[in-house]
Structure 1
Amino acid sequence: MKATRKTTLYQGIALSFLLGLLSCVEEINLPIRQIEPRLVVEGLITTDPPPYAVKLTFTGQFSSLSQLPEGLTVNGAVVTVSDDQGRTVRLKPDPLTPAYYYLRDSTFRGQPGRSYILRVKLEDGRTFVSKPERIPDVPPIDRLDAAYQRAPAGPPSPDTYTVLLDTQDPPTPGNYYRWSAYAYVPCWAGGVPTTFAGVTLNTTFGAVYGPLTDVGSDALVNGNRISRRPVLTLPVYTLGRRYVEVQQYSLTQAAYQYWTLFEQQRTRTGSLFDPQPASIEGNVRLQSDTTKLALGYFGASAVSRRRLIIPSDTINYGRFIVRFGGLFANVCGDAPGVEPVNWLDGK
């Protein structure tokens, strides 16, 4: 009887203590730090024919990754690109896509060795100007190859193809590169796939994109071959051809440093060895006060391209089905694509 009374007493004390704590909790609304919006510039002129796009936004609070808030789009700006021979072309805003301005003049095309400047005059009268950006030349992509890799043991994941690039670095030092790649890969449109006369049925195609910040320099390989450099990883959801395109861009040293810092910040994991977070400032400044910088970067690059078709004919279809069955059905979503045609024409 005494033990029961003690237990009840302790329970009552604990309950009173908990209620006391709850009654002392006050909601505190921390003030949101207000930072003056900064202009963000994303643009690139290349040796490819126009159009060239420039995206202009302001920094601010985003509520969605897929939709840009109306107050953060830069509309009504006067945007021009000038070359080092005195020619200036005005970009026109896209009426259907806010914040985008396009250079569509087919007679204005990036040329290796020439320099280009972006000017942005906002509705409030402020004018931002980029530093001159020279287009370095870029070597051709000599070869693309693909290496098949089995998925590691553990949670089910698809096998992969790694796309590998070969190119020849020029003998002069100070060459900088950025690689971009995409591919159309076959996917199961639903159910377990079947084959008839060697053709995979019930197949659609989805797009796979590589990172935009894959950069490198010739600091350790100047004048030598850049061989079997990985530029894209493709999942193997089912058998069939994979259609790959790789672009090799030249960069100025300033652009290389910008994208290197950008990638370092993007891949932070929170460890003690991570670089300190900071705003990565680009090459666009306020004309009346050059200490005030915009974010983002206006670049100029030469481009070489190469395409590849990966046939997948070395994979045993029967063993593939035994391993994965219908595991990767419908991974490409509800918007199926069609298989490309004439992929290697002129490439």
Structure 2
Amino acid sequence: MKSHLYHIVLSCIGLALCACVDQINLELEAGQSNVVVFGWITDEAVPYEIKLSWSNGYSDQSGYLPVSEAKVYVTDQSGTQYDFVEIATSGRYQSDPSVFVGQPGGIYQLTIHHGQSIYQSAKEELPPLSPVQDVFVDFVADPADFNVKPEDENFFVSAFVEDDVILENYYRWKVYVNNELRNKPEELVLFDDQFTNGNKFKYDASNVLFTAADQAQIQHMSLSKGAFEYYINIKEQTSSSALTPRIQPGIIKGNMSNPNNDNELVLGYFGASAVATIQVGK
């Protein structure tokens, strides 16, 4: 459908260039709504949240409607079930941190019952987290070589990672600037140990820039291979860099499905991470 729509748009541009007088009205299909799931658990003793909503059709401007009144729970490798309770009718379901805290090495699976439908994630491991050392603020160029104005965004977070020699490690840094998460697709900080396995290596979050006056902190997170690839796909499809042009747009499939209906597309991802939150000094 997207490819078809793309060709329609190109045709319309050509017609508009040839004849700018006639008005062309297109009737597009409304499209189908799909369940969108996003949830993450960590090894922090905090409430975890699962968000459920409906995707929009092409012509639907009503916003993302919540999927309410669902039964939502996570099970671990021993079969223990942890229930998530909806906040009002928001489509946001939260766990009780006094009952459920994720454990590194644990295997978790999300299950959702809504009406007659069942949605389930693949089993997701909460990977152990290799530590970081010497977290600091670096700069794009030496400020001593030229006049850096206070409003110039020339600074970014760097750190040394003590990578685990046994495991394949995948990492994400959430960078907060003045307590605000920098979370645009081009600001996703993702890296792995493909060429640095078992070594201490330096990584630069040089795609998230801020000024000398800003305060920064990072959440150093472990990812499964599936979660890493999911975020890489998001970043690649939304990149606007001239050096890394966008790939052909397409549906980004996560790890959710309807076990009773292989043909139903379920969007989103359920993941698990170990987390270390670090205040960055200058």
Contact 1:42-1:298 within 8 A present in 2 as well = yes
Task: Quote the residue 1:76 is aligned against.
Answer: 69
Of the three residues 233, 240, 243, the one matched with 1:261 is 233
Task: Quote the residue 1:130 is aligned against.
Answer: 121
Task: Quote the residue 1:284 is aligned against.
Answer: 256
Q: Deviations over 1:31-57 (max 9, x none)?
A: 122321111111101001120011111
Task: Quote the residue 2:111 is aligned against.
Answer: 119
Identify unmatched segments of 5+ residues in structure 1: 1-20, 185-205, 311-347
Q: Deviations over 1:132-173 (max 9, x none)?
A: 0011101122121112455999x9962432211111111124
Please show how residues 1-347 of structure 1 align to structure 2 within 5 Å.
25-60=21-56, 69=62, 72-95=65-88, 98-123=90-115, 125-148=116-139, 149=141, 150=143, 158-184=152-178, 207=180, 209=182, 213-230=188-205, 232-236=208-212, 239=213, 242-268=214-240, 274-310=246-282
> Residues 249 and 291 from structure 1, CA distance in 2 versus in 1: closer, same or farther, beyond 3 angstroms?
farther
> Residues 262 and 254 from structure 1, CA distance in 2 versus in 1: closer, same or farther, beyond 3 angstroms?
same
- Given residue 103 of structure 2, which amino acid in structure 1 is its aligned partner? Q
Q: Deviations over 1:193-240 (max 9, x none)?
A: xxxxxxxxxxxxx7463556321111111111121422642224xx5x
How many residue pairs get matched?
Answer: 258
Task: Quote the residue 1:320 is aligned against.
Answer: none
Contact 1:208-1:234 within 8 A present in 2 as well = no
CA distance in 1, matches of 2:25, 2:118: 38
Name the TM-score, length of structure 2 as normaliser: 0.80
Contact 2:150-2:211 within 8 A present in 1 as well = no
Contact 2:44-2:102 within 8 A present in 1 as well = yes
The Cα of 1:299 is off from its aligned counterpart by 0.2
The Cα of 1:244 is off from its aligned counterpart by 2.5
Q: Deviations over 1:278-308 (max 9, x none)?
A: 0001000012023433111100111122222
Name the TM-score, length of structure 1 as normaliser: 0.66
> Residues 285 and 180 from structure 1, CA distance in 2 versus in 1: closer, same or farther, beyond 3 angstroms?
same
The Cα of 1:253 is off from its aligned counterpart by 1.0
> Residues 294 and 44 from structure 1, CA distance in 2 versus in 1: closer, same or farther, beyond 3 angstroms?
same
> Residues 233 and 257 from structure 1, CA distance in 2 versus in 1: closer, same or farther, beyond 3 angstroms?
same
CA distance in 2, matches of 1:138, 1:69: 41
CA distance in 2, matches of 1:226, 1:110: 28
Residue aligned with 1:104, SS: coil
CA distance in 2, matches of 1:152, 1:281: 46
CA distance in 1, matches of 2:80, 2:252: 30
CA RMSD of aligned residues (A): 3.2
CA distance in 2, matches of 1:129, 1:221: 34
Instruction: Return 270-279 or 165-174, whichever deviates more.
Output: 270-279
In our comparison, the structure showing a higher alpha carbon Rg is 1
Task: Quote the residue 2:10 is aligned against.
Answer: none
Contact 2:133-2:162 within 8 A present in 1 as well = yes
